[in-house]
Chains A and B, each alone.
Chain A
Amino acid sequence: MFVQMAWRNIWRNPRRTTVILIAVVIGVWSMIFLGALMRGMVDGMIKNGISTLTGHIQIHHEGYRKDPVIDNSMLDVDKLDAVLTEVLPEGAKYAKRIRVNTIASNARHSAGLTLVGIEPEKEKGISFIGEGVVEGRLLKPDEKRGIIIGKALLDKFETKIGRKLLIMTQDTQNEIASKSFKIVGVFRAEMEATEKNFVFISLKSAKKLVKLNDGISEVSISLAERGMEGEVAEKLNAQLGSTGLKAETWKELIPMLRAYLEIFDGFMYIWYLVVFTAMGFGIVNTTLMAVFERMREFGLLKALGMKPSWILRGVLTESLFLLVLGAFLGNVLGFIFTYATAQTGIDLSALAAGAEAWGLSRTLIPVVVLKDVFMANFMVVVLGMVVSAYPAVKAARFTPVEAMMMN
């Protein structure tokens, strides 16, 4: 009957209950939906970071990251293959690459960019280039003269498929190496900067250009799911031992992203707290009004022999109903909005220039993280109960005579 009483009490003033329910619903909805958008933004940044040639893990010569020159290449590829075969879990893929800084030019333009020699068929599922060709074709494994360039570079160089592009770099003998390639494909990437700064040739062709024979610059590894990379990198490093090679995760390879991720959770919770604080005042205000309106009734209940603790429990039960109902509706609404938005995503192309600086995708797809949903509900319900305790204690503390003399 106490539960029935609490439920009926909250509907004694339907307008007031509706108003506070709307406040809770909007609060929870915003925490879930906007939280999902923020998570989606970060998720997009991570996915971009990983798919833009980084992968979940990379292996380099230990000097390569400080000085990414051809001299810091990995030469014992057979040993590396053996370690990778032994350590990588099921579902993992890897691809070898050669990366060198280069100058690309045609009759009208020239630009400094990164030349990447790839194993084209292996890049699928590892980096965007595996499926990023939108015009022309992907490279063949033994492609000798073909090159793939980004759409933005194509436009900048005022060129097209079938035309030539001259590549000039430094080979392992510290000599200038240059070769003319024919544009066979054009790729699109999430970020325009990627389209402007990378060109791709086959690994075989790159080896020949820089005279690296069997050496490579990096191995990029893609795992079946994100989150295992730390453990796998650790195992790889244990196996690589003193070979002079080092496996690093994307968090080490893109430290800015890691730092952003680390402070992002803090931002989310501070934001939740701000939303809750606004909502909390509404909850306290409504509960106080409901309590003071019924003070005489509390006096009656006490006169009948109800203990103060039961009055406290009754008021808190009413708050719990409001909070749980509001949170439930807020969750439903939040999930509906998130689901609807996830179907097409939010097109950020109008903000492409600004968004790119942060590594954001052109399309923002919201991502629901259970921890965030739990935290939003926990904050609303538990902190809501905590702030409701103030009016509840007030109701419980008056003596029956004091309470019945009110109103």
Chain B
Amino acid sequence: MNIVQVKEVKKTYIQGKVEVYALRGVSLDIKKGGFAALAGPSGSGKTTLLNIIGGLDLPDSGDVAVDGSSFSGMSQADLAKMRLNKIGFVFQAYNLIPVLSAVENVEFVMLLQGLDKVERRQRAKDVLDDVGLEGKYDRRPAELSGGQQQRVAVARAIVSNPSIVLADEPTANLDSKTGNGLLEMMKEMNEKKSVTFIFSTHDDMVMDYARRLVQIRDGEIADDIVK
């Protein structure tokens, strides 16, 4: 079953007076439980594609559907609701809310979903335990290492059981050992809990971990390898 369906998506940006073609009619399906990487050099369009799959940005033409829901015609509020309930995000940096503790950061999405305090606190702690952050519930982001912050971000992304988790260069700010540990953890989540992960990356380590590697170049899919 395809959890993500991208059909003929085009996107252009205006930079100064120049029109830049970020995506030139990309079509892509990702299956439920996938562990896929969108790879390519800077400016290839991989982050744009990831943002469009995540409903953070809208295509000029074409359509995207996640878990059967098409983004066409959705308002910003509808997109926000879609992101809240179906999509988890892990960003490269500035990933956590600095004034909230680790457990509050993980709880935050459930708070937006309207879950009661006791349930969301318990679930947040359980997921933090799963990502190896037992006992660090009350630490603020500034009191955690980069790797620990990314683990909190992963915990937040998966805590509400989204259809997909989108990770935009999650290892870019981490050393290789920490990055490797993070990827192992995400792989385990994928295998044990069937969480679908889609990465945007140019890190070889991420590409090695990915079971499917989609190479993007100049706004088009240059290669699509299923390992």
* Residues in A lying within 8 Å of B, measured CB to CB: 1-2, 4-5, 8-9, 12, 296-297, 300-308, 310, 399-401, 404, 407
Contacts and interface: CB of A to CB of B under 8 A. Distances in A.
26 contacts: A1-B104, A1-B108, A2-B111, A4-B104, A5-B99, A5-B100, A297-B94, A300-B94, A300-B95, A304-B84, A304-B89, A304-B108, A304-B112, A304-B156, A305-B80, A305-B82, A305-B83, A305-B84, A306-B84, A308-B77, A399-B56, A399-B57, A399-B76, A401-B57, A404-B56, A404-B91
Given A307-B77, A399-B57, A401-B56, A297 B89 contact: no
Contacts of A5: 97, 99-100
A303 B85 CA distance: 11
Contacts of B190: none
Given A300-B91, A401-B51, A305 B109 contact: yes
Interface string B109-120: 101110000000
A300 B156 CA distance: 12
B98 interface: yes
B81 interface: yes
Given A1-B108, A4-B104, A401-B56, 8 more contacts: A8-B100, A297-B94, A303-B54, A303-B56, A305-B85, A305-B109, A306-B80, A306-B84
B107 A1 contact: yes
The 3 A-B residue pairs with the shortest CB-CB distance in the complex, in nearest-first order: A305-B84, A8-B99, A305-B83
A308 B75 CA distance: 12
A5 to B, nearest CB: 6
Interface in B87-146: 89, 91, 94-95, 97-100, 104, 107-109, 111-113
Interface of B: 51, 54, 56-57, 76-77, 80-85, 89, 91, 94-95, 97-100, 104, 107-109, 111-113, 156
B98 A12 contact: yes
B95 A297 contact: no
A303 B52 CA distance: 12
A400 to B, nearest CB: 5
Contacts of A9: 99
Contacts of B84: 304-306
B120 to A, nearest CB: 9
A89 to B, nearest CB: 59
Contact of A303 (B81, B83, B104): B83
A4 B101 CA distance: 11
B156 to A, nearest CB: 8
Given A1-B104, A1-B107, A303-B89, A297 B112 contact: no
B98 A297 contact: yes
A306 B82 CA distance: 11
A102 B37 CA distance: 109
A287 B85 CA distance: 31
Contact of B111 (A1, A302, A307, A407): A1
A407 B113 CA distance: 28
Contacts of B85: 305
A2 B98 CA distance: 14
Nearest to A308: B76
Contacts of B83: 303-305
A311 to B, nearest CB: 10
Nearest to B89: A303
Contacts of A4: 104
B132 to A, nearest CB: 22
Contacts of B99: 5, 8-9, 12
Given A305-B85, A306-B112, A400-B56, A296 B107 contact: no
Contacts of B54: 303
Nearest to B99: A8
Nearest to B162: A305
Nearest to A305: B84
Which among A303, A305, A308 has the highest number of chain B CB atoms within 10 Å?
Answer: A305
A142 to B, nearest CB: 83
Nearest to B93: A296
A168 B134 CA distance: 103
A400 B83 CA distance: 11
A300 B152 CA distance: 14
B111 A301 contact: no
Nearest to B52: A401
B98 to A, nearest CB: 7
A371 to B, nearest CB: 39
Most buried by A among B80, B82, B104: B80
Contacts of B77: 307-308
B89 to A, nearest CB: 5
Q: Interface centre among A5, A301, A304, by most B CB within 10 Å?
A: A304
